[in-house]
Amino acid sequence: MATATTYGARAHARAQEGTRAEAMPVVPASAWPAPPCEAGHLVWAETVAGGNYTHKVLARGTELRLTDLLGDACAHLLLFAADRPWERLNVADTVKVQWNAYLGEGQLLLSDQGRVLATVIADTSGRHDALCGTSGLVRNTERYGDGTPQSPSPAGRELFKLAAAKNGLAPRDLPPSLSFFQGVEVREDGSLDFTGSAGPGLSVTLRTEQDITVLLANVPHPADPREAYTSTPLEVLAWRAEATRSGDPLWEATPEGHRAFLNTAEFLAARGIA
Amino acid sequence: MSEQTVQRTTVPARAAWSAVVRAGATLTITDLHGNQAVDFLVYDAGDTTVRYSAPDTIQEQGNIFLTTGSVLMSNEHTPLMTVVADDVGRHDTVGGACSKESNTLRYGHHTWSQHACVDNFLAEGARYGLGKRDLVSNINWYMNVPVEKDGTLGIVDGISAPGLSLTLRAERDVLVLVSNCPQINNPCNGFEPTAVEMTIGAPE
């Protein structure tokens, strides 16, 4: 198709409509071929390429399912209260308050304000990490030759900076992150064992307990010992559901979590939200 | 004070402290009475968006405990300070700071009026233009946080003792913020916060 004229260039660009790529967002999300819920409830349907990132603002009471399609995804995650990004995921409080260094079903992802941002409501992987954070430019350059976002081996932090910028946030807004699908275990002497992936097709489902901004980077875990930058697609599906309420087993599961839900409910009530 | 000592300060129980430590200079933290957690954040003095990163530090050494030889890494995976001496053997990178908010989760709402480290960090950081966005997971010197096989983690009785110390060397000009932890609901301060001593030594 001739692109030497504006008319030709326009026609050429428009002819790309409908092209399918392996990794892409499906818009509207309801067009996703195999929805895990009523199709009309889907609000986000995307396949994130290895070495790429995505972001979304999700309403309170949304379920967010991350799936490691081929077994080498690693979903690095940051959460912020939408429109109040100074309230954000606090990894230290998340592990300390719940007396557990590992992530899994039933765990609350806590903010620095003693409230719940999201809960982990299902987990078929069990290989996650709250200790090592994501990868950085300096180390990726040492390990893979490059770590810049457009390179074949982007660092997680560099991608988080871009996702943050698109939500009006700066590098100083990026606290330590969590990662799903590539695990680490702590030995008695404090040293770490990289346990890697539990295999392809496994998923983690989060439920948002406030309106939150989600930043996701799909890059290799920083402790992945493999020489090659190994990162495969991550499926992201989100649908409208309900936030955790009094009476849900999760609400009463632990005294610390119970108080976190109470704090969250009180905050939302005071704002006239829920 | 020896000739090489630039500054020596006793930080009272529950108080905050800060200083710029020049490249090559040392900072010695002495646990005067034993079993006192010293919450610690460090920033590049010239660019505070470059600051201590617990995960990069854990990555770098493949261990969640800090001791002699541990390098405190920034969020850009560059060295900020190095532990050059340590009488205790292990310090915490995982537990972060106590806050009035997290105290309500950990112990109950009756703790709201108590002092907490995050307030110290906010007050001390504000002197340098730092705010809430600039607070990240911090180091807890002298705090003992083991992780069991099943992932259970918690603050337990300390392994420090009166007079034990550790020394850090600045790898560049750094700004250090300290909260001498006021926590009274867990064993990190033996349920009774006490004073610590900060000594800045001249660059070699």
> Domains of chain B: which residue ranges?
5-201
- Of residues B23 and B6, which shows the higher confidence score? B23
Chain A residue with minimal CA distance to B101? A114
Residues 101-130 of B with CB under 8 A from A: 101-106, 108-109, 118
| Assigned domain for A81 exists | yes
| Assigned domain for A25 exists | no
Q: What is the pLDDT of residue A47?
A: 98
**Considering only CB atoms, which chain B residues are within 8 Å of A97?**
102, 105-106
Residues 73-112 of A with CB under 8 A from B: 85-86, 90-93, 95-97, 99-102, 110, 112
Residues 32-61 of A with CB under 8 A from B: none
Contact B54 A133 (CB under 8 A): yes
CB proximity B67 to A under 8 Å = no
Q: What is the pLDDT of residue B4?
A: 79
CB proximity A222 to B under 8 Å = yes
Nearest CA distance, B19 vs chain A (angstrom): 21
Contact A86 B153 (CB under 8 A): no
Q: What is the pLDDT of residue B2?
A: 58
Query: Which of B94, B104, B138 is closest, CB to CB, to A259?
Result: B104
Query: Which of B48, B53, B94 is closest, CB to CB, to A92?
Result: B94
The alpha carbon torsion through B57, B58, B64, B66 (nearest 10 deg) reads -30
Residue A124 structure tokens: 């078929």
Chain A residue with minimal CA distance to B140? A92
Long-range contacts, B187-193 (Cβ 8 Å, 24+): B187/B35, B187/B155, B187/B156, B187/B157, B187/B158, B188/B35, B188/B37, B188/B140, B188/B143, B188/B144, B188/B155, B188/B158, B189/B35, B189/B36, B189/B37, B190/B34, B190/B35, B190/B36, B190/B157, B190/B158, B193/B13, B193/B14, B193/B36
Nearest CA distance, B8 vs chain A (angstrom): 31
Confidence of residue B49 (pLDDT cuts 50, 70, 90): very high
Distance in angstroms (rounded) separating the CA atoms of residues A256 and A259: 5
Query: Which of B59, B78, B152 is closest, CB to CB, to A100?
Result: B152
Nearest CA distance, B2 vs chain A (angstrom): 36
**Considering only CB atoms, which chain B residues are within 8 Å of A176?**
53-55, 136-137
Q: What is the pLDDT of residue B3?
A: 58
| Assigned domain for A6 exists | no
Q: What is the pLDDT of residue B6?
A: 87
CB proximity B155 to A under 8 Å = yes
- Of residues B1 and B41, which shows the higher confidence score? B41
The mean of the pLDDT values for chain A is: 97
Query: Which of A101, A138, A174 is closest, CB to CB, to B151?
Result: A101
Nearest CA distance, B90 vs chain A (angstrom): 9
CB proximity A223 to B under 8 Å = yes
Contact A176 B101 (CB under 8 A): no
Q: What is the pLDDT of residue A1?
A: 67
Mean pLDDT of the region B167-189: 97
| Most A-contacting residue of B39, B41, B59 (CB-CB within 10 A), to test interface | B59
Amino acid at position B127, single letter = R
Q: In terms of C-beta density within 10 A (0-12 exposed, 13-18 middle, 19 or more buried), how is residue A6 classed?
A: exposed
Using 50 as the pLDDT threshold, list the residues of chain A that sit under it: none
> Domain range spanning residue A191?
42-271
B124 touches B175 (CB < 8 A): no
| Assigned domain for A23 exists | no
**Considering only CB atoms, which chain B residues are within 8 Å of A115?**
101
| Assigned domain for A104 exists | yes
| Assigned domain for A76 exists | yes
Residue-wise pLDDT for A60-91, tens only, equals 999 999 999 999 999 999 999 999 999 999 99
Mean pLDDT of the region B149-163: 96
CA distances from B53 to A32, A129, B42, B56, B178 (A): 39, 15, 9, 5, 15
Contact A176 B55 (CB under 8 A): yes
| Count of structural domains within chain A | 1
| Assigned domain for A47 exists | yes
